[in-house]
Structure 1
Amino acid sequence: MVGGLPLTSGPQTFLDLAARLPAAELVAVGDAFVRSGEMDAASLARRLERADRVRGVVRARACAPRLDGRAASRPETSSATGRRPATCPTRSCRCRCATGGGREVAHADLRYPEWKVALEYEGRQHADPDQFARDVDRYSLMAADGWLVLRFAGRHLGSPVVVVDRTRRALLSRGWRP
């Protein structure tokens, strides 16, 4: 109960939404639940074990392994969990980028550490002058430590071909071979 209103648990809400949302949206909601602490893998697994014949359970079970809560926003979740073409290597999500000496310089939304290629989603909050100044510092530090940072905005998420093409070209420029 919150303010006199009954609420369902994160796992129950995730299951309820699975009957109504496409998989990508469901993963974004699930990531937000995990990130906020409203749900964890164990509590979701327990709920889904008891959900035979519940509408949406197949989608919920298919999406559950994709949840980790590391993406900081819905667009990050969308780009991180989007289809990875066979022509690109496996990426890491929401991971730290460090110098050779281990000094952390940034957290990249997505990264390919072997080739030092990082992908960043730039939402509207990055237009704030203080955030913009922090971004300049962060990207300068990453570049000084050898990282190539590809920056994307909301308009790019509507065309994953653009993101995949630019990422693939960046990886090839860094020595990756398919």
Structure 2
Amino acid sequence: MTWIMYAGKVGLREMVMLGDALIRRDAEQKCCSIGQLESAVTDFLRIASFRGRNRFQTCTRGLKLIRENTDSFPETLLRLALMQRGLPCPQVNYCLELPGGTGGRGERLFLDLAYPQARVAIEYDGRQHAWQWDRDQRRLKMIGDAHWVHVAATNADLCSEQSRAALVASVADRLERQLGRRVRVGKTLTLRQLSDPRRALAH
């Protein structure tokens, strides 16, 4: 209900970020499920006055863009940037199963965002990664050995319209190479346009 109340105070982008945060992958941070959020919004509609309908619409639009099992706000913003420019919604925290050696068990990597059909991974590279360079290099090698293409995004890629557009173009280029066909990048949509009930969004 706190999330619903915020719909009258903040914008749609913040509602999506807060909604993602409520249903994080980390069990200690996860407050509820997407189904529970949807039920709360439905219950709110039953008791809402006419003045509350705008808040309800903001919540339903937010629910259309929220995804379960995210890890951070930058990952949310990265996903929205890709979708706003016409790319399909990538899978969140996709589990990449890696084969093991002879008689050995394979490893599992959770990719921030992924297009499994194209074998393209997009991950946010925050400042904390400066302290785990060796581990990250091993991770990148494992992703490459699995014949996946990796795109790293930083805060600089998300800080302006121009940098976001360049990042999306880079991801689209990787998708084209992997799929062997044209991947179109459209004009930038607002989040209200993207969450229009008449639009079909791939999960």
**TM-score, normalisation: structure 2:** 0.72
Q: Give the C-alpha shift of residue 169 in structure 1.
A: 0.9
Paired letter, 1:15: I
CA contact (8 A) 2:119 2:148 kept: yes
Structure 2 residue aligned with 1:3? none
Q: How does 1:42-81 map to 2 (within 5 A)?
A: 42-51=35-44, 52-53=48-49, 54=52, 56-81=55-80
Q: Unaligned regions of 5+ residues in structure 2, if any?
A: 183-203
Q: Indicate whether 1:40 and 2:33 are aligned.
A: yes
Q: Distance in 2 between matches of 1:56 and 1:66?
A: 16
Measured against aligned partners, the alpha-carbon deviations of 1:90-148 in whole angstroms (never above 9, x if no partner) come to 522210123468944421111111221110101111111xx222211111111111111
Paired letter, 1:85: R
Structure 1 residue aligned with 2:93? 94
- The 3-state SS of whatever aligns with 2:156 is helix
RMSD: 2.2
- The 3-state SS of whatever aligns with 2:18 is helix
CA contact (8 A) 2:33 2:68 kept: no
Q: Give the C-alpha shift of residue 150 in structure 1.
A: 0.7
Measured against aligned partners, the alpha-carbon deviations of 1:39-65 in whole angstroms (never above 9, x if no partner) come to 222332232123234262211111113
Q: Give the C-alpha shift of residue 172 in structure 1.
A: 1.5
Counterpart of 1:109 (choices 109, 112, 121) is: 112
Structure 2 residue aligned with 1:146? 147
Cα gap change, 1:177/1:104 in structure 2, threshold over 3 Å: closer, same or farther?
farther
Of stretches 47-56 and 18-27 in structure 1, the one that deviates more from structure 2 is 47-56
CA contact (8 A) 1:110 1:119 kept: yes
CA contact (8 A) 1:92 1:112 kept: yes
Q: Give the C-alpha shift of residue 84 in structure 1.
A: 4.3
Q: How does 1:104-143 map to 2 (within 5 A)?
A: 104-128=107-131, 131-143=132-144
Of stretches 12-21 and 148-157 in structure 1, the one that deviates more from structure 2 is 12-21
How many residues are treated as equivalent by the alignment? 164
Q: Distance in 1 between matches of 2:176 and 2:33?
A: 37
Q: Distance in 1 between matches of 2:42 and 2:88?
A: 33
Paired letter, 2:166: V
Structure 2 residue aligned with 1:8? none
Q: Give the C-alpha shift of residue 81 in structure 1.
A: 3.0
Q: Distance in 1 between matches of 2:128 and 2:138?
A: 16
Q: Unaligned regions of 5+ residues in structure 1, if any?
A: 1-11
CA contact (8 A) 1:139 1:149 kept: yes
